[in-house]
Amino acid sequence: MNEERHVLSVSVTEDAHGVVVVSLAGELDFVGGEDLSARLAQIPVTAGPPVVLDVSAVRFIDSTGLNALVTAARAIEANGGSVVVAGPSAHVRRVFEIARLDHSFRLEETLEGALRAALAAQAGE
Amino acid sequence: MGTRGGEGRSFEDTLSGATATFRRPLVVAALLGFLALIAVALAFVWRQYDDAKHTAAHDLRSRAILAATVYDTYFHGQLETLSAIAAAPALTSGDVDAMRTYFAGFRPGSGTSFTAGIGWIDPSGHQRATSDPNGPITASLAGRAYFKNAYGTGKPVVADAVIAKQSRRRLIVMAVPTRGRRGHVTGVLAGGIVLRPSSNDARANDLGYAGLHVVDASGHELNRRDLAAPRNSRLVSQLERAKQGVLIGAHGLDGSGGRVVAFATSAAPKWTVVLDQPEGEVFGDARRTLLREVLLVCAAGLLGLAFFAWALRRARKSLRASRAQVVRWSGLTRSLNGAADPDEVYAMFLRALAAEYPDGVSMLAVPSSGGEGGVATSIAPGSRALSGTPPDRIAASVVGLVASAEDRVALTTTEDVRRALGVETGWVASAYGVSLKDGDPRRPAVGLILFPRERALDANALGLLDAYADLVEQALGRVRRHEQEHDAAVLLQQSLLPDRLPEAPGIELAAHYRAGAPNTKVGGDWYDVVVRPDGIVHMTVGDVAGRGIDAAISMGQLRNAFRAYALEYLSPAEVVERLGRHVAEDQMATTVCVAYDPCTRELAFASAGHPPPLLLDGESGEVARLEASYRGPLGWRSSSVVEHRETVVSDGTTLALYTDGLVEHRYVGIDDGIDRLAAALSGARGRGMESAVDSVVAEVAPNPEDDVALLLVSFGTAPATLRLEIPADPLEIRRLRRRVHGWLDQRAVDEGTQDAAVLALNEACANSIEHGYRGTRQGTISIELAEGAGVLTIAVEDRGRWLEPRPNPNRGRGIMLMRHLMRKTEIHHRRGGTRVELETPV
């Protein structure tokens, strides 16, 4: 009822190919958005790696969450990286669609697909 | 007090005068004075007796002197006669024959006083001539005392008494010397007198000569035949030393004591005349007088004392009566102090009247309006049955009478009563009426005391009745004030407890509360239910150690604190923690707080040393305990309170919160008590909440002296409409989302619609924060959710001022989301705030 457990958890890993995988789990709302921004700010962006945002475990996203994602993505792209969103749920996808972000972001069904897409995007440069 | 009568003394004064301590010193002084008087009289009487005795004694002495004088005179005479004979020529011549012839005329029987004869003795001591026809005595008389004395001294002499040898007669011999022509002693002429035995001459005794004794010079008692000396020789020598006198209380001549001895000496015969009489005879008169007078004085004294005693008794009786009145009075005062209501006051008053007027009394108290509502006629218990009762018509007349009298009314005869009241009054012969303020100045009453006999009703009696009336009036006032205070106290107590349980969506509540201490409505136990604006319900029971009003006061404080904290803090643990601050160091209190979210159907609870709440499954009847990890009672400095959680309750689940009065049995452990309660709960399921809570308490609460609180909560499904208010805070919105999901689950809304609705709601709330409250996170957001008839409506309202913000893409997205997610989205900006209405089909 009044659980204060971290509603959003953010973990950043790097796979064998140097793709940064940001795994989000929980609710991406105003509070969660702040968490995300803080964590993303910690990613070394010198080399502009490809980034996969794994949102398969995100149960909720609202406008502030979207904002956080957009801001983060822009920052990554500005540094030469690319962003792929992996595994959005139907609801999350719908939110993206309503916000007309489905074209701004590359949405992939699965994590593997997103990883491949990220590598491809990087290779494509 | 006692100001009714106006004139005269107040009743109190009269009473205190009557019962003043009976001036004992005065009484004692009077008694002593009287006794002193008696003593003086007795002393006087005694003095008189003394004097009388002395007079009697001296009287006796006078008689002795008289007797002695008589003897004296007699013997002088005899000696004269003898001397005359001695001067006769026959004797002076010395002619013996002439003497013989002369002496023949002195023979016994011739009338001579010398009854033993006379004779002439010559100087050699031989009797030569005698009157005795037998001839002269042949023996020599030279040795005889009388001869020697008369011959030697030449003076007449009276000899001591002798007893004649032959005749054994007692003789007194007198002798005178005879002289010749030349005057020389020629011989002795002796004459004898025969002593007759003293006769008890009655006449002599009457003259007071009883006990006459004569003792001659040689100690012979002449009364005695043998002329023996009196036994009491000491007395004799005493008598001889003094010539005359009287001895009182001396031993008599025979030696016996207690005699009065008067004596006088007769010179001629040298006799001592003794009047020896017993004191009783001598002092007889004096004694009789003394006795008489003493008796008189004593009689007078007794009479005086009797009178005294009578007067005392009378005074005492009146004192007792007054004291009895005082006792009755103070008895009434005392019992009136304990009267609890006006009826009791009147009853006590009537009892006092019955004691005061044992021959019958009746009392009537009516409101001054004369109508109903008055106390009915009361007849003093113990009075003989008064035939008939006064008709009720009297009441109206009485009221009028007393009101017009302004003060009080006393009617002393039947005629007076009839005339004053204007109606036939039956048995009433006299009456006393007075106005009584019944304690309520708006409702004065009239008291009427009725007597079956005509009573004088003098100032004292009126004073008494007035005083009684005053007492009753005061008592009535006191009783009324006490009632008011009691009512106020009850109201105050009741204010310490919730009078009604709140309406809470999705749950049904029932409570039973009982204070154990007598005459109190509240004790140390409490229960309460707070429905927060956000829809979460906090429920609690608690128990402050102690009983009665003291515990209730602490309880009130804790309960109020709970209400404040329940609104402020979501977590029961926090509520309980903070409640601990309100418990004083020397107090002990336990409590359990359970929070229920009707949306998610989750229970959370925290306990501070309190028995575990019970959760009853409505279908299976099984009862589970909501155990908390052990923590001491409120206020104990221990580790912080742990919040426990229980899973979702289902329909028909009932929660029971209770205090230990319900489970603490004397010889049974608490565990067993809880089991019993569980069994009772299980047995009562299916009943209505109100009847269930009462029946469980009746079944289980063992000790009527313990406070008992039982709160039953039964959980139903969420209502179709939900109204919440949350603070404008992102964290709150986050919570809200989860809860609304829970409610939507209960309303069986599908997942997709739920997600959309919750998101839309989220955006609307975010807007309120951003715009309405300018992100200051102050203020509240009101949310209304309604699901039914295939439609879900959501309304979000804030009380902030809508400001067009700097362009914020978020908000734009937010509104866009709302419009796309919901079938209908309306945003109303008003002066008081913004209202967003959303609608979507379900």
Which residues of chain A are within 8 Å of residue B811 when distances are taken between CB atoms?
63
Name, of B170-184, B463-477, B783-797, the range with top average pLDDT.
B783-797
Structure tokens at B146: 């009388």
Q: Residue B19: its pLDDT value, please?
A: 57
Decide: B677 and B470 in contact? Cβ < 8 Å: no
A98 touches chain B (CB under 8 A): yes
CA-nearest of B539, B536, B534 to B501 is B539
Asked if the Cβ–Cβ distance from A29 to B730 is below 8 Å, we say yes
Which of residues A31 and B501 earns the better pLDDT score?
A: B501
Q: In what order do the strands lie in the sheet with B444-451?
A: B375-379, B362-367, B444-451, B430-437, B408-411
Q: Which amino acid is at A115?
A: L
Nearest CA in chain A to B600: A1
Burial of B174 (0-12, 13-18, 19+ CB in 10 A): buried
d(CA B674, CA B667) in angstroms, rounded, equals 14
**Cβ contacts of B784 within 8 Å, gap of 6 or more:** B721, B722, B723, B724, B793, B794, B795, B796, B797
Asked if the Cβ–Cβ distance from B814 to A62 is below 8 Å, we say yes
pLDDT at residue B529 tops 50: yes
Residues B104-129 pLDDT 10s:
888 877 787 888 888 888 888 888 88
Q: Which amino acid is at B266?
A: S
Residues B594-604 pLDDT 10s:
999 999 999 99
Mean pLDDT, chain B, integer = 82
B646 φ/ψ angles, rounded to the nearest 5 degrees? -125, 155
d(CA B515, CA B704) in angstroms, rounded, equals 9
Decide: B562 and B575 in contact? Cβ < 8 Å: yes
Which residues of chain B are within 8 Å of residue A27 when distances are taken between CB atoms?
734, 737
Q: Residue B645: its pLDDT value, please?
A: 73
d(CA B137, CA B121) in angstroms, rounded, equals 10
Q: Residue B776: its pLDDT value, please?
A: 61
The angle, 0 to 180 degrees and rounded to 10, between the axes of the packed helices B24-86 and B284-337 is 180
Which residue is it, tokens 């603070």? Answer: B727
pLDDT at residue B422 tops 70: no
Compare CB distances from B730 to A1, A30, A66 and report the shortest one's residue.
A30
Q: Residue B614: its pLDDT value, please?
A: 94
Residues B537-579 pLDDT 10s:
999 999 998 877 788 888 889 999 999 999 998 889 889 988 9
Q: Residue B114: its pLDDT value, please?
A: 85
Compare CB distances from A1 to B595, B756, B821 and report the shortest one's residue.
B595
Report CA B503 to chain centroid distance, whole Å. 61
Comparing B353-357, B634-638, B761-765, which segment has the lowest mean pLDDT?
B634-638
Band (B151; pLDDT cuts 50, 70, 90)? confident
Band (B659; pLDDT cuts 50, 70, 90)? very high
DSSP assignment of B770-826 equals IIISTT---SEEEEEEEEETTEEEEEEEE-S-----S--HHHHHHHHHHHHHSSEEE
Structure tokens at B116: 């033993």
Residues B577-628 pLDDT 10s:
889 888 887 888 999 999 999 999 999 999 998 999 999 988 888 898 988 7
Which residues of chain A are within 8 Å of residue B813 when distances are taken between CB atoms?
63, 66-67, 99
A93 touches chain B (CB under 8 A): no
Residue B786's CB is within 10 A of a number of other CB atoms, namely: 17
Residues B56-85 pLDDT 10s:
889 889 988 998 898 889 889 988 988 898
**Which ipTM score applies to this complex?**
0.89
% of chain B at pLDDT higher than 70: 86
Best residue in B603, B649, B734 to probe A by mutation, most A CBs within 10 Å? B734
Band (B427; pLDDT cuts 50, 70, 90)? low
Asked if the Cβ–Cβ distance from B733 to A99 is below 8 Å, we say no
Residues B301-350 pLDDT 10s:
999 989 988 988 888 888 888 888 888 888 888 888 888 777 788 888 88
Which residues of chain A are within 8 Å of residue B759 when distances are taken between CB atoms?
60, 62, 91, 95
B510 touches chain A (CB under 8 A): no
Asked if the Cβ–Cβ distance from A2 to B730 is below 8 Å, we say no
Structure tokens at A115: 């990883």
Comparing B160-169, B290-299, B649-658, which segment has the lowest mean pLDDT?
B160-169
% of chain B at pLDDT higher than 90: 21
Comparing B149-158, B205-214, B689-698, which segment has the lowest mean pLDDT?
B205-214
Q: Which amino acid is at B667?
A: Y
A2 touches chain B (CB under 8 A): yes
Q: Residue B386: its pLDDT value, please?
A: 44
Q: Residue B366: its pLDDT value, please?
A: 67
Compare CB distances from B810 to A1, A67, A90 and report the shortest one's residue.
A67
Asked if the Cβ–Cβ distance from B763 to A31 is below 8 Å, we say no
Asked if the Cβ–Cβ distance from B817 to A99 is below 8 Å, we say yes
Q: Residue B362: its pLDDT value, please?
A: 76
Rounded to the nearest angstrom, the minimum Cα separation between A101 and chain B is 11
Residue B134's CB is within 10 A of a number of other CB atoms, namely: 8
Q: Residue A46: its pLDDT value, please?
A: 55
B814 touches chain A (CB under 8 A): yes
